[in-house]
């Protein structure tokens, strides 16, 4: 691995490396107003939620790296103690990018970006009407992370006073990530879109899994099964025992070729062919069992995957 130490490389280089590795990051589109009521809008990807009781979010309005001066968001937030944070969707990402331009303090980025102000209920700064998720916030604390460093970062800790969520992103009583269609920030000019196949579920454990150390050696040292595959197998409550009735007597008579059935996603058909075809190579036979088990795992059938792996070879 390449190793980088702060202080031994330039700040721009360190910045690029850090943001490319700590990714994707949610984007906070922060709205503030100055003491004269002029609105400011700016995106920040140093952003996340850190508590729900009370609800606390934080973002990083860093000083300008070029000259160390404070940004408008920083000045406005300290002066008024209020902001809104709107999440960024794919449909508005180019407008948000435009709002990041370094306009003078008296310029309203809502106007420049074409984004629409949505009046807030409990704070003065407006939200962004095009966003499906808006937080009304009050500043709790502004932390200067390195006062001695020119252009250093800051951390704005904000308490959420109100949350607005558009009706259209709900499926039942839950927010649907596909309907939110959020984007995240990567390194350099890269973004990512949280939609389609990029969004997937990993359910939290309901019990203490047996762990990798309890997996039989021929499974743990598999050349086929990935770390994710092994983790799903290791997540069972107790080590399964072989079921002598597996595989079930399903009608797989038409299954004739292992590779055809495997690539078609027919795990039981592939298993039927494998078990009913004479074999002399135990290594290849076991690898094919592991491929079928992996296919069962992809289909969410952990029990069938285990029983496949427990078949004698």
Backbone φ and ψ of 163, nearest 5°? -125, 130
What are the helix and strand counts (H, E) for the chain?
11, 14
Encode burial over 20-41: b for 16+ CB neighbours within 10 A, e otherwise.
Answer: eeeebbbbbbbbbbeeeeebbb
Nearest alpha carbon to residue 70 among 126, 141, 144: 144
Site of tokens 């200067």: 144
Burial class (CB in 10 A: 0-12, 13-18, 19+), 85: buried
pTM: 0.89
Site of tokens 């331009």: 101
Q: Where are the domains of the chain?
A: 11-198, 212-309
What pLDDT does residue 116 have? 98
Kindly report, residue by residue over 220-277, the tens digit of the pLDDT.
999 999 999 999 999 999 999 999 999 987 766 678 899 999 999 999 999 999 999 8
Distance CA 184, CA 28 (A): 10
> Largest Cα–Cα distance of the chain, in whole Å?
84
Task: State both tokens at 238.
Answer: 């107790």
Radius of gyration of the chain (CA): 27
- Using DSSP's 3-state secondary structure scheme, residue 7 falls into coil
What kind and span of H or E run contains 169?
none
User: Hey, what CATH topology would domain 11-198 get?
Assistant: Pnp Oxidase; Chain A (2.30.110)
Nearest alpha carbon to residue 275 among 222, 311, 224, 223: 311
Distance CA 129, CA 91 (A): 12
What pLDDT does residue 253 have? 63
Mean pLDDT by 10 residues, the chain (313 residues): 94 92 97 95 97 97 71 94 98 97 93 98 98 98 87 91 98 97 97 95 94 97 97 97 90 81 94 91 95 97 97 86
What pLDDT does residue 150 have? 75
């Amino acid at each position: 691995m390449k190793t980088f130490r702060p202080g031994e490389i330039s700040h721009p280089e360190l910045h690029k490396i850090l943001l490319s590795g700590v990714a994707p990051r949610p984007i906070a589109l922060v709205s503030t107003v100055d003491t004269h009521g002029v609105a400011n809008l700016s995106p920040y990807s140093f952003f996340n939620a850190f508590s729900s009781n009370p609800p606390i979010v934080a973002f990083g309005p860093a000083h300008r790296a070029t000259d160390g001066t404070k940004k408008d968001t920083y000045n406005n937030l300290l002066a008024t103690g209020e902001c809104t944070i709107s999440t960024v969707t794919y449909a508005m990402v180019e407008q948000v990018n435009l709002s990041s331009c370094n306009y003078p303090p008296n310029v309203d980025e809502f106007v420049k970006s074409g984004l629409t102000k949505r009046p807030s209920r409990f704070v003065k700064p407006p939200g962004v009407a095009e966003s499906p998720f808006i937080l009304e916030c009050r500043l709790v604390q502004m932390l200067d992370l390195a006062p001695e460093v020119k252009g250093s970062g800051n951390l704005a800790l904000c308490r959420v006073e109100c949350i607005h969520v558009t009706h259209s992103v709900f499926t039942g009583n839950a927010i649907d990530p596909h309907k939110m269609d959020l984007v995240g920030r990567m390194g350099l000019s890269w973004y990512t879109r949280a939609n389609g196949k990029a969004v997937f579920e990993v359910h939290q454990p309901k019990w203490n899994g047996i762990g990798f150390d309890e997996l039989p050696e021929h499974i743990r040292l598999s050349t086929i099964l990935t770390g994710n595959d092994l983790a799903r197998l290791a997540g069972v409550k107790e080590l399964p025992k072989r079921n002598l009735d597996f595989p079930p007597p399903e009608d797989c008579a038409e299954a004739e070729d292992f590779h055809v059935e495997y690539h078609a996603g027919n795990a039981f058909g592939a298993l039927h062919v494998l078990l009913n075809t004479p074999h002399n190579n135990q290594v290849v036979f076991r690898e094919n069992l592991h491929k079928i088990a992996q296919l069962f795992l992809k289909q969410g059938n952990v029990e069938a995957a285990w029983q496949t792996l427990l078949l004698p070879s």
